[in-house]
Amino acid sequence: MHQLKIAAVLMCAISGATTSSVWAQQAAPAVAATPAAKPAPVKGFTPPASTSGQTIDAIAVVVNDDVITRNEVAARIKSVEQRMKAQNVPLPDPADLRRQLLERMIVERAQMQLAKEMGVRVDDQTLDRAIGRIAEQQKMTIQDLRNQMEKEGTPYATFREEIRDEIIMQRLREHEVDAKIQISDSEVDNFLAAEKAAASEQVELNLAQILVRIPENSSPEQIAARRARAEEVSRQLRTGGDFAKMAATYSDASDALSGGEIGWRNSDRLPPLFTEQLLKLKPGQITPIIKSNTGFHILKLVDRRSAAEAQAVAAVQQTHARHILLKVTPTLSAAEAKRKLLELKERLDNKAATFEELARLFGTDSTASKGGDLGWLYPGDTVPEFETAMNALKPGEVSQPVESSFGFHLIEVLERKSDDVSKEKERNAARNALRERKLEEATESWAREVRDRAYVEFRADDQ
In order along its 463 residues, the chain shows pLDDT tens digits of 444 444 443 344 334 333 333 333 333 333 333 344 444 444 444 444 444 555 578 898 999 999 999 999 998 888 888 878 877 878 888 888 898 899 889 999 999 999 999 898 888 988 998 898 888 888 889 999 899 888 877 788 888 998 998 899 888 988 888 878 889 999 999 988 887 776 666 788 999 999 998 887 889 999 999 999 999 999 999 999 999 999 999 998 877 888 888 888 888 778 888 988 998 999 999 999 999 888 999 999 999 887 666 555 555 678 999 999 998 887 888 889 999 999 999 999 999 999 999 999 999 998 999 999 999 998 878 887 898 899 999 999 999 999 887 889 999 999 998 765 567 777 888 888 888 888 877 888 888 888 899 999 998 665 5
* pLDDT number for residue 316: 67
Q: How many CB atoms lie within 10 A of CB 125?
A: 9
Q: Which residues of 371-397 are buried (b: 16+ CB within 10 A; e: fewer)?
A: bbbbeebeeeebeeebbebbeebeeee
Q: CA dihedral in degrees (73, 75, 169, 3; nearest 10)?
A: 140
Task: Judge whether 139 and 92 are in contact, CB under 8 Å.
Answer: no
* pLDDT number for residue 96: 86
DSSP, collapsed to helix, strand or coil, labels residue 440 as helix
Three-state SS annotation for 113-140: HHHHHCCCCCCHHHHHHHHHHHHHHCCC
Task: Judge whether 118 and 19 are in contact, CB under 8 Å.
Answer: no
d(CA 226, CA 323): 52
d(CA 250, CA 289): 14
DSSP, collapsed to helix, strand or coil, labels residue 324 as strand
Write the DSSP symbol of residue 107: H
Q: How many CB atoms lie within 10 A of CB 128?
A: 13
Task: Judge whether 267 and 279 are in contact, CB under 8 Å.
Answer: yes
d(CA 45, CA 70): 13
* pLDDT number for residue 197: 72
d(CA 8, CA 4): 6
Alpha-carbon separation of residue 221 from 108, 210, 290 (angstroms): 65, 21, 19
d(CA 46, CA 30): 31
* pLDDT number for residue 30: 33
Going by C-alpha positions, the residue among 108, 205, 249 that lies closest to residue 165 is 108
Task: Judge whether 57 and 67 are in contact, CB under 8 Å.
Answer: no
Task: Judge whether 305 and 204 are in contact, CB under 8 Å.
Answer: yes
pTM of the model: 0.44
Question: Is the Cα torsion angle 130, 132, 135, 137 positive or negative in sign?
Answer: negative
Under 8 Å CB-to-CB from 258, ≥6 apart: which residues? none
